[in-house]
Amino acid sequence: MLPGGIPYPPPVDNGFWGPTTSTIDWCEENYVVSKYVAEIMNTTTNAVFMIMALYTIINVYREKHHPTIIFAAIGFFIVGFGSWMFHMTLWYEFQLLDELPMIYATCVPLYIVFSNKKSNHFKTLLGVGIAAGALLLTAIYLHNKNPTFHQAAYGILNFIVIGKSVALTKAYISDQKTKNLFWRLLALGLFSFLFGYFLWNLDIHLCNQWIKIRREVGLPYGLVIEGHAWWHIFTGLGVYIYIVYLCYLQVFLAKRQHLYHFLWWCGFFPHVDLLPEAKALWNKLGRAPTETEMAEVTSLSGVSGVKRVSSIHAKSSSVNHHN
């Protein structure tokens, strides 16, 4: 027992939420911290998903990114909420609320990357096809209740999305420095996701050893070596990084790279923001500024940013008036 450690109580099979009905019961011992939460760390670490999803929704709105990204973030949030409820109760109904939204949320970027520069007719057919595929996967999973099937389907969907994202990056990003930034971003997201997957597998295949170690070190120390909880943290970060990748890719596909800049917080937390001048001009014009308008703003040195933007706005209004 480590200094200050508290012995683990015995696990409880039937806590506040009643008997376990899920088809999976993870390595974290049930109800050892609270009688109201079956798996305390597997539950609370889902806050990472929900907080990052909410931040993404706010950032997409504030920085005027493509609105379809919001649907990906909403799916991201639902996955976190469903997983929270699942690990808190170990009910089968909430297991489905965890697992099925993982498929549905991945369908959003699947639609985004395959609908690029396609006709409205194709986009409609694509949307219907993806929805039908998601419903088919749901029906099969509800019938066989095999978690391996769900995990395989989720992995294949992600492989397709990432593969198409790479193809779009190669096709539409010509500047090598910018392309390297995309590769760095993708590598970081994949590393985070795969490292979380590695910890998840350690948790599954060495469960008895981890339980023994946790009981030897005591509470609260044992809480930090819950492998599935770390899976939530690292996959949450990995999904967020991919959404940022997708946001930045959408900027280039829409030919709006002159309006945005890419930033790292603390060297590893990425985000894509409007340039201050671009945001001010966009708000003034009520639309995305053209590259010419942005060039004029940045070239008018010696004039405050507000006056520069006002000058462009006045010219734009004058042109519209004469037209």
150-163 pLDDT, tens digit each: 989 999 999 999 99
Cα 187–Cα 191–Cα 194 angle in degrees, nearest 5: 135
From CA 162, how far away is CA 82, in angstroms rounded? 24
Beta-strand runs (E) in the chain: 260-265, 269-274
pLDDT at 227 over 80: yes
pLDDT at 184 over 90: yes
Residues 6+ apart with CB under 8 A from 24: 95, 147
Q: What is the pLDDT, as a whole number, of residue 308?
A: 47
Give the least confident one: 37-51, 115-129, 168-182, 264-278: 264-278
Sequence spans of domains, the chain:
40-274, 278-322
pLDDT of residue 13: 82
Exposed/middle/buried for residue 65 (C-beta within 10 Å: 0-12, 13-18, 19+)? buried
User: Is the confidence at residue 220, as pLDDT, over 80?
Assistant: yes
Give the pLDDT confidence of 300-316 residue by residue, as tens digits.
544 444 444 444 444 44
- pLDDT, position 309: 45
Long-range pairs for 141-148: beta carbons < 8 A, 24 or more residues apart: 141/99, 141/100, 142/96, 145/23, 147/23, 147/24, 147/99
For residues 73 and 53, the answer to whether their CB atoms sit within 8 Å is yes
Q: What is the mean pLDDT of residues 120-148?
A: 95
Angle, helix 176-205 to helix 207-217, in steps of 10 degrees: 80
Helix axes 227-253, 68-89, angle to 10 degrees: 170
For position 301, what pLDDT does the model report? Answer: 40
Q: What is the pLDDT of residue 314?
A: 47
CATH number of 40-274: 1.20.1070
pLDDT of residue 8 exceeding 90: yes
Name which of 184, 241, 187, 234 is nearest 55 in CA terms: 241
Residue 322, pLDDT > 70, answer no
Q: For 39-43, 154-158, 227-231, 266-270, which range has the lowest pLDDT when averaged over its residues?
A: 266-270
More confident residue, 216 or 147: 216
Side chain identity at 203, as an amino acid letter? Answer: D
pLDDT of residue 292: 86
pLDDT for the residue numbered 300: 54
243-287 pLDDT tens trace: 999 999 999 999 999 999 999 988 778 999 999 999 999 998 899
Tell me what the mean pLDDT of segment 117-141 comes to: 96
The pLDDT assigned to 263 comes to 92
The size of the chain, in residues, is 323
Mean pLDDT of 215-241: 95
Task: Kindly indicate the confidence band of residue 299, based on its pLDDT and cuts at 50, 70 and 90.
Answer: low
List pLDDT tens digits, range 62-102: 999 999 999 999 999 999 999 999 999 999 999 999 999 99
Q: Which of 72, 144, 142, 65 is nearest to 110 (CA)?
A: 72
Q: What is the pLDDT of residue 178?
A: 94
**What DSSP line would sit under 238-253, residue for residue?**
HHHHHHHHHHHHHHHH
Inter-residue contact 227 to 8 (CB < 8 Å) = no
